[in-house]
Chain A
Amino acid sequence: MTVTMLVVFLGHVLLGLPLFIALLTTAFVGFLFVDFSMIPRMMPQQFFSGINVFSLMAIPLFILAGNLMNVSGLTERLMGFARLIVGHLRGGMGHVNVVSSVFFAGVNGSAVADTSALGSLLVPAMEKEGYSRAFAAGLTAGSSLIGPIIPPSIFMILYASLTNTSVGDLFLAGVVPGMLLGVAFMGMNAWYAWRHRLPKSTQLPSLGQLGFAFIAALPALIAPFIIVAGIVLGFVTPTESGALTALYVALCGVMLGGLRLKECWKAILDTARLTSAIFLIMAASATISWLLSYAQVPEQFVSLLSPYVDNSVVILLLLSAITFVTGMFMEEVSALMLLTPIFAPVAMMAGIDPIHLGIIITLNITIALITPPLGACVFVAAAVSRLEIVSLFRTIWPFVLTAIAVLILLILFPPLTLWLPTLLG
């Protein structure tokens, strides 16, 4: 059954069906194997309940916050501040790209919004400084991975709702890994800049300029602290925090000038579009998840891996490898929804902290955003930089490898994730 479902699914993905249609077709075929008569009840029931979860309501709100950031001019302020801090270094624009992603990550929960917002402005600027367009697009896609790792994060909200772990703890656990990713990509950029002898600006920004840019970016810079503190201290749920962030960004946009009702409405419509696309996939995945657990596939999987449960590093590496391959061929949200319920019991048996597992899975799923052939961020980066998708598929691999190196570091040293939530929790 599992094999047939896999073939049907991959077949329909390659045939170009929208993913939720491919998923529903797969579920339909799977039900034929188990019990045809369940279809009229179980498919609509699980389709509905897959998205009838309060914590998931944070997703559209953080997408909205990201969209509002872009139309309110806050994204540009963040970029301006980043430019003053690191812009004068060799390969300055590349560093700006990474640092902006770190700043942007603090408000935004999705990597795709990051890629499209920063890419369209930064890829041309990087090219002007002497970068190849492929590297610039690759760095944009790669550094956008920081978005879902530094809180807030849609993937973490999803993971938390699937495993009943605390969103606040997960958010805290993501801060250090997100910074590590940033450092890794800046390292890559520095190496590229040094090898290609990119120019170095001799003009250091004055303290006044720096202070001015800092104040201009301040409203956007403090937003993440408000978001994380509100959730961690238990004042608001992640969903409420999403709504407050959207409101905050909109108010900043209005007060700092630039945000008009028309743009606000456009941001809302775009959010409705993307929410529809993501939630339909989640709903369709839920029907498959239910079927798999009904057919007790997770139990079979657990017994398959049980010989290795003595070694949590081996288990995490195995789970990561499976996620990586799955992520290459699957949309990330649905991959996360399918894999988490199967992985969580294995990890529990191996004595892995659910928060640690959450960060590992989130990073894995995030890496899948830039792995060919089905990485959303690669598509968007190629589009915004007007690059042939296949050529970006070739240059993206060093970025994938860098992210994997960070992943392995986290697997080997769990304190990198668990230190902050233990300290503050």
Chain B
Amino acid sequence: MLNTLRSRLLAISRPVTLTLAGALLSLNVAAILFGVFARYIAGGAPIWTDELSRFLIIATVMLAAGAVWSEGGHMRVGLLEKLLPAPFARLLNVYQWLLTLLIAAGGAWVSYRYALSVSMFTTSGLGISRTVPLLSLPIGFLLLTWHVLLYGPAPLTTVEDSL
């Protein structure tokens, strides 16, 4: 019962976050192209495209982090768990899971505090508070925590299995 709920939630949140990430990436391409066309056709480039593009990519990266983790898409060496006898491999998976969970949750908390602490800085291009782009970090780490929790301490797939 709990397991079906977990896998159902995972099956929803994975494509949803990836779709959002893809949308931000497309927006980024559009912003950069707009900058080029503005420079050569309209005769003057806006100064905020550079900054917008950076913030969009960082948001893309952080949004997709959890979904990519649950797909086994983050680069890693999965050799040891295949060589170890099953009980040890299981133990190893638990350690991987716990450490990732710890780093993700810690990262969310620490980066949230940090993002709030730099609100007095104004970004040079968009003229917004530095907190805004930095919030990508806690949101991303939170999504990572969420996906790690949903996935549970099961073995992760690696690049060579997935292709």
Size of the chain B interface, CB-CB below 8 angstroms: 59
Query: Does chain A have a CB within 8 A of B142?
Result: no
Contact between B80 and A273 (Cβ–Cβ < 8 Å)? no
Query: Does chain A have a CB within 8 A of B64?
Result: yes
A-B contact pairs, 8 of them (CB 8 A): A54-B50, A57-B28, A269-B22, A275-B57, A276-B60, A277-B74, A280-B65, A373-B77
Q: Which residues of B contact A383 (CB under 8 A)?
A: 159-160, 162-163
Contact between A382 and B75 (Cβ–Cβ < 8 Å)? no
Contact between B96 and A17 (Cβ–Cβ < 8 Å)? yes
**When chains A and B are docked, how far (Å) is the Cα of A374 from the Cα of B78?**
10
Known pairs A17-B99, A376-B75, A382-B160; A272 contacts B18 (CB<8 A): yes
From B111, which residue of chain A is reached at the shortest CB distance? A44
Contact of B79 among A51, A52, A373, A376 (CB under 8 A): A373
Query: Does chain A have a CB within 8 A of B68?
Result: yes
Q: Which residues of B contact A24 (CB under 8 A)?
A: 103, 107
Q: Per-residue 0/1 for B51-77: is the Cβ within 8 Å of any A Cβ (1 yes, 0 no)?
A: 001110110111111011101011111
Query: Does chain A have a CB within 8 A of B32?
Result: yes
Task: Mark A residues whose CB is within 8 Å of B.
Answer: 12-22, 24-25, 28, 39-41, 43-45, 47-48, 51-54, 56-57, 60-61, 64, 116, 236, 239-240, 242-244, 246-247, 265, 268-269, 271-277, 279-281, 283, 331, 373-374, 376, 379-380, 382-384, 389
Tell me what chain A mostly uses at the interface: helix, strand, loop, or mixed.
helix
Query: Does chain A have a CB within 8 A of B114?
Result: yes
Contact between B57 and A60 (Cβ–Cβ < 8 Å)? yes
Q: Which residues of B contact A269 (CB under 8 A)?
A: 18-19, 21-22
Contact between B160 and A16 (Cβ–Cβ < 8 Å)? no
Contact of A16 among B54, B60, B81, B159 (CB under 8 A): B81
Q: Which residues of A contact B115 (CB under 8 A)?
A: 44
| Least CB distance, B27 to chain A, in whole angstroms | 11
From B136, which residue of chain A is reached at the shortest CB distance? A48
Contact between A64 and B114 (Cβ–Cβ < 8 Å)? no
Query: Does chain A have a CB within 8 A of B36?
Result: yes
Query: Does chain A have a CB within 8 A of B110?
Result: yes
**When chains A and B are docked, how far (Å) is the Cα of A116 from the Cα of B26?**
23
Contact of A61 among B29, B58, B74 (CB under 8 A): B29
**When chains A and B are docked, how far (Å) is the Cα of A160 from the Cα of B66?**
30
Query: Does chain A have a CB within 8 A of B95?
Result: yes
